[in-house]
Amino acid sequence: MRWVEVQAPIDALGVAVDEAGICRVRFGGLPSNATAAEPDEVLTRARDELTRYFAGEDITFTVPLSVRGGSDFERAVWRQLYAIPYAQMRTYGQIAAAVGEPDAARAVGTACNRNPIPVIIPCHRVVGADGKLVGFGGGLWRKKIMLELEAKVRIEREFGLL
């Protein structure tokens, strides 16, 4: 894996790429055993798209992904997460139903926690059944910042302020 670090308002992100695409996004910057690589086309594009996202642009990530590991269920959950549109939210129960396991809301939470590519695969857009912010491997404070950023952009877009 080759790594690049991206500065963001939620702390530095470590972004890793393999031969197929982005395979890891890590909160807290690069792992201690990694060194930053010379950014190639995919790493440069990932850094650009993440920077634009955190600058408040309504962005759909187009960088290629390389999802490694995970059970069939987790991979199905991650596909559903990736399909959540910008500035929209889903509940754990809605994701469970979408993958054909309506009673698996807790398992969806576990799959969200194991998401190898947070932010780009937007597990932060999943909330509790009552709309409350619950469970986020990167810390609820990060989830709150990202959801607030997206809500601000959505409001500005809807009222023609952008």
Active site residues: 123
43 Cβ partners below 8 Å, 6+ apart? Answer: 2, 4, 15, 17, 37
Question: Do 78 and 71 meet the contact criterion of CB atoms below 8 Å apart?
Answer: no
The Cα 90–Cα 71 span in angstroms is 21
What distance in Å separates the CA atoms of residue 160 and residue 26, rounded to the nearest whole number?
A: 34
- The whole-angstrom separation of Cα 86 and Cα 151 is 9
